[in-house]
Structures are given as C-alpha cells and as structure tokens.
Structure 1
Amino acid sequence: MKLWALLAAVVAVAGFALWGGGGQAGSRLIVIITPSLDNPFFGQEAAGAEARAKQLGYETLTFSHGDDAFKQSELIDTAIARNAAAIVLDNAGAEASVAAVQKARNAGIAVILIDREIAARGIATAQIVSNNYQGAMLGGQAFAEAMGGKGPYVELVGKESDTNANVRSRGFHEVLDQYPGLKLTARQSANWSQSEAFTKVQSILQAHPEIKGVIAGNDTMAMGAVAALQGAGRADVVVVGFDGSNDVRDAIRDGKAVATVLQPAYRQAQYAVELADRFLKTGSTGMPEKLIMDCILITRANAARLKDFALQPGAR
C-alpha cells in the first residue's frame, strides 16, 4: 500500500509540473505572439505584455503571426522548443487556433489569450477579451446620434473568420436597426486593413455618392475611410471607429471622425502576464477562464486624454 501511495504522489506532482503548475520546469520565458507589430493596437499589446513581464522578472520573446494560422502554429512550436513557461497570444482565428493552443497545453505551457477568443473552452489557461458587444453598442449609439437618426450609411466589417468582427457588427446593429431612418447602403469586409478600407470606400462613394456615414469595425479601417473621404472632398460624412487608436483620436480632435470605442489593449496584455505569473506560481489564475473588460466611448469630450489605447489618469 505504501508503494502505491508513493506512486500516486509522484504522478500527482508530475501532473502539477506539466499543467497544473503551469509552464515548463524552471523556465522564466514568456513568449508574446500578436497578429502584427506594425498595427498600433497589436503593437501596444506586445509592448504592454513585454513591459509587465520584465517587471515581474521574466525574459520575453515577441513574434507576429500576420493572421496566418500556419505561421502561428510554427511560432507555438518555437515557444515549445525554447522551453517557454507561458504564451500570451492574440490568435489567428477562433476555429483555426484551437489546435495550436491545444499543442501548447499538451507541452505544459500556460496560454493566456487576449483580444480574440477561440472556439473552445478548457484549453487556454485564460481568455481575456474586450466586451465587444457592449462597446459596439456605444459606438452605434454615437453614430446614430451624429447621423441625426437618418440617412444612408456604410458598414466596414473586419475579417469574417474573426469572432470580434461578427460580435461588433451585431452590437452595431442592435442599436442602428432601431432607427428606421438609417439605411444600410453597403456592408463590406475590409479585413481590418486600412488600404482595403480606402479602396472599398472609394468604390462605394462612386456607386453611392449619397452616403452620409461610415461605421467601421476597427480604427484601421476607419482611417482608410477618412482618407478616402478626404480625397473625395467629403467632409460631411460621419465616421465612427473601434479600438481607441491615437490616429482616430487625432481625427476626432480635427473633426474628421466623430467617435471611437476604446478597448484597453495595453492593460489587457499586462493583465494577461499577471495571470500567467499567478498561474505559474500557484497552479491557478484564481479567475474564470473567460474574462471580459468593458469598453469606453471616446468622443471630442475625452479624446485629449487618450494615448496608446489607454485613458490617462483622471479620465472618465
């Protein structure tokens, strides 16, 4: 009986080291993987995670997968090969990322997802997402009011495979569809891209010069719309974005956009590292797997306090 008890204890400790305790034994490396480092939103995610990890005494490696699930899988392999303790990941697609996160888990690595969730529960250590529906409703209300509750408008949608794109669109329409005077003239995906948004809004303006508003699923697409509208001399068109970027902040202050919705990318990434640290030390984050952070409407009234996807102290 004593032998069986000893074997059971060994198995329990091994299981804790592999998963319950989180990370690979003795590792102080946190790998940070985001869709892009050039996009300001994702760049601030990486910066926030890296800064907090170093404050807590970890080494870091930062990569981008470019919204390519195959490249993401290769980067997970790299993290495993480098003996990472944890991965902070803004993933490359809700369905396409499940296998990669499972692979990291099987290797004993804690994975904290930020910004985008995956289409599975019980695999990631935590999934921290913005309250995209709540935020989209805020943006939709600001857009409807700026439009005076009427007129033809365009919606620019993000990448169709991204859960956030669909959730934000539903949140927008939860509000906009209550205004019978608002007429959706065109709804097109610009894949989160400024250049695609620019080209598509140019084409839409030619086909539908009557449009009076553009509501975009992220600020990058909103800035593409602003550029196209400026090029066409259309200062009369209402533009609302989503993310809380410095670019749209400046456009709001210059009267080229009406509002954006801040999702706290920097703080979200910091919190991901804090949860990873807690998990590595105790075997638990002490929190539910899915965690939601509310968004904040940014207008001319508070735009001056917005910097790098965060409201400065004293902001409301």
Structure 2
Amino acid sequence: MKGKRLLIAALAVGVPLLASGASAQDKGLMSIIVNDTSNPYWFTEGKIAEETAEKLGYEADVSSHKGDTNTESRQIDTAITNQAEAIILDPANADGSIGAVRKAVEAGIPVFIINAEINQQGLAEAQLVSNNAQGAALGAQQWIKSVGDSARYVELKGAPSDNNAATRSNGYETVLSQYPGLEKVASDVANWDRTQGFNKTQSMLQANPDIDGVISGNDEMALGAISALKEAGKLDDVVVGGFDGSPDAVEAVKAGEMDYTVLQPVAIFSEMAVRMADKYVTTGETGVDGEKQLFDCFLITSDNVDDYTDPFVLEQ
C-alpha cells in the first residue's frame, strides 16, 4: 500500500520512479541539509532523502544546521566546494536562508527546498512542503470534536523563523474562532522543542490551572505538554492535539494521552525532492508546473492509529 501511495504521488508531480532492480551509475554527490536530526521528524526527512539518493546512484551527505543560518551557510559552502550535483535543503529561516540558497544557485547547483519554505520565489527549482493550512484545519476540527465547543485552552507555537509555525497557528485560529465558547487563555512559543513545550506548559498551567485543552504546532511540543500535565495530575482532564505524525506521538495516541496527531507526509516529499533533483540533473527539467508543491496531511486518531506502520506513513 505504501508503494501504491508513493506511485500516485510520483505521478502527480511527474517524477519517474527508478525501476526495481535497475542498475544505477555513480552520479556524484547530493548534499542533504536538514534541521535537527535529534528530532524524529527531521531524522526521517534526512534518512529517506539519503536512501533515495543512494538508490539513484548518488553519494549522499546529510548534515543538520539546527536552525542556525551561519551553520547552514557553511554547509552550503561545503556542498559548493565538493561540487554537489544538487542540494536538498530544509531551510533554517524563511528569510535568513535566502542568501545561502542564492549562493548555491550562483555556483550552478540547483536547490530543492523541503518542509519549510523560503520567502523568495525563483531561486529554488522547487519547494515541496506539507499543506500546513489543510493539516491545521484537520487538527482543529478533531480537537473541537474532543474538547467540545465551550472550553478554555492554551496554544504552543513553533519557531517564528519558520513559516509553518504561523500557517498552522492561523489555520487553528480560522477554525476555532468560529466557536464563541472557546477561549484561548494563553499561548507561547516553544520552538518545536519538547523540553520547551514542557516548561512553557508548566508556566501556563500555573496561571491557568483549569484549562480543558492544549493545541500544539507540532508533536514534540505536545509531548512536552503531556509530561507537564502528567506531573500536575491534570492529563485526564485536558485534550492535547499534535502535528507531525511522529512515532512517539502515535504511541501517545495509542495510549490515550494525545487525542490526535496530524501526519505530515515527510517520507513522501523527501523522496520526491530527491527524484525531482535527479530528473533535473539528468534532463534540465523538474517535471512539474510551478515551484511550490503542496502535499496534503492526514489525521491520526484512535480510530486509525493501528494503520500507522512506518515512520510518517499512514496506510490508506
């Protein structure tokens, strides 16, 4: 079933799949730069891209910038020095990464953006990202089903440097604002991090001990919130929703601790980006119309959590 979904996704963006058993030539280096491989989402992103590049005949180099644009710039310099055929990049900053991308392009290396966008069109050959607005709406609708249309809640937000944070928060607001009985009593930035999610939730709980729900911009922050709620003895009374579809979040859904998570199809768009880069290196064309390519998200709840078998893949 996973293969079927991957085939459909490939056909949708016009990228050919390597035939099973096909021999691959040594095609040079593909540089893969992600955010933080200690986070399971970004680890999977890098791993899938690496495996795909190697299957297609490239040497793959994976590095992580951890959200630091200076580190990212040095990694781009290394890719240029090593004469990479293409760069797969999850950018550190929507604005701050533009210079690094431009530097690679001016050196003649095509860049394919994944997961997080940069705020300039026409530099990268393609930007492959989750449909975060669609995913946020899915999550918010599920959250309302569980918490009800009258509740006090808090929100955990991702890094402001990442457009995904604002897109998800705005997507939540679009849905939740339709229910006058819902009151957001606090919100804070926890930068996609579990420890910060724990600490920020602790602080919000001290000021608002009677909340009914937590809605989070990603799973790591949501898992931190769950730990804080457990410590306060309040988890049974609070609905927590996440976003990413990480293995730990799925286990939390199975355990009844997290109400849902929104699965980002990172395994699909990471592979597609590498295949698109290979097509471009080989033919000079990406095979798609338009720079930005959106991939719809999926909802994981207790009803379908058993269908989740591989990292960031939900069988359909």
Task: Write the deviation string for residues 13-70 of structure 1: whole angstroms up to 9, x where unpaired.
Answer: xxxxxxxxxxxxx961101100111100000000110111111111010100010011
Q: Within 2, Cα distance between the matches of 1:121 and 1:302?
A: 38
1:240 alignment counterpart: 241
- Normalised by the length of structure 2, the TM-score is 0.90
> Distance between the aligned counterparts of 1:50 and 1:302, measured in 2?
29
Q: For 1:235-264, what per-residue CA distance to the aligned partner results, in whole angstroms no more than 9, with x for missing partners? A: 210000000011111111111010110011
Does residue 221 of structure 1 match 2:224? Answer: no
Partners of 2:208 and 2:149 in 1: CA distance: 19
> Which residue in the other structure is 2:303 paired with?
301
- Residue 286 of structure 1, CA deviation: 1.8
Conserved? CA contact 1:214–1:239, under 8 Å: yes
Q: Which amino acid aligns with 1:281?
A: T
Question: How many residues were matched structurally?
Answer: 288
Q: Determine if contact 2:34/2:45 at 8 Å carries over to the other structure.
A: yes
Q: How does 1:1-316 map to 2 (within 5 A)?
A: 28-234=28-234, 235-287=236-288, 288-306=290-308, 307-311=310-314, 315-316=315-316
Stretch deviating more after TM superposition (298-307 or 182-191): 298-307
List per-residue Cα deviations over 1:182-208 (Å, max 9, x = no partner): 100101100111101101111111111
Q: Distance in 2 between matches of 1:247 and 1:236?
A: 21
Residue type matched to 1:51 in 2? E
Following the alignment from structure 1 to structure 2, what is the Cα–Cα distance between the partners of residues 267 and 44? 11
CA distance in 2, matches of 1:262, 1:174: 20
- Output the amino acid matched with 2:249: V
8 Å contact kept, 1:27–1:83: no
Do the aligned partners of 2:30 and 2:53 also contact (CA within 8 Å) in 1?
yes
Conserved? CA contact 1:153–1:186, under 8 Å: yes
What residue identity is the alignment partner of 1:241? G
Structure 2: distance between partners of 1:194 and 1:120: 30
Distance of 1:121 and 1:286 partners within structure 2: 18
Deviation string for 1:148-201 (max 9, x for gaps)? 111100000000121000000011111111011110010110011110110111
Which whole-Å CA distance do the structure 2 matches of 1:195 and 1:305 have between them? 29
Corresponding letter in the other structure for 1:292: L
Amino acid aligned to 2:214: V
Mapped to 2, the partners of 1:298 and 1:162 lie a distance apart of 24
**Contact between 1:249 and 1:304, CA under 8 Å: does it hold in 2?**
no
Check the 8 A contact 1:27/1:84 in 2, yes or no. no
Answer yes or no: is the 8 Å Cα contact 2:27–2:57 preserved in 1: no
Q: Displaced runs of 4+ in structure 1, greater than 3 A?
A: none
Separation in 2, partners of 1:150, 1:31: 49
Instruction: Specify the code of the residue in structure 2 equivalent to 1:114.
Output: I
AA of the residue aligned to 1:298: I
**Aligned partners of 2:134 and 2:268: how far apart in 1?**
18
Letter of the 2:306 partner, please give it: A
Distance, in Å, in 1 between the alignment partners of 2:135 and 2:199 is 26
Q: 1:108 to 1:27 in 2, by over 3 A?
A: farther
- Return the letter of the residue paired with 1:303: V
Residue type matched to 1:154 in 2? V
% identity of equivalent residues:
48
| Structure 1 residue matching 2:244: 3-state secondary structure | coil
> Which ranges of structure 2 fall in alignment gaps of 5 or more residues?
1-25
Give the equivalent residue in structure 1 for 2:22.
none
Counterpart residue identity of residue 241, structure 2: V
User: Who wins on radius of gyration, i.e. which is larger?
Assistant: 1
Cα deviation digits, residues 209-255 of structure 1 (max 9, x gap): 11010000000101000111111111210000000011111111111
TM-score, normalised via structure 1 length: 0.90
Report if aligned partners of 2:218, 2:244 keep a CA contact under 8 Å in 1.
Answer: yes
Deviation at 1:301, TM superposition (A): 1.1
Residue 27 of structure 2 contacts residue 59 of structure 2 at CA under 8 Å; is this kept in 1?
no
Q: Which runs of 5+ in 1 are unaligned?
A: 1-25
| Cα distance in 1, alignment partners of residues 274 and 307 from structure 2 | 25
CA distance in 2, matches of 1:176, 1:297: 17
Aligned partners of 2:29 and 2:59 also within 8 Å: yes
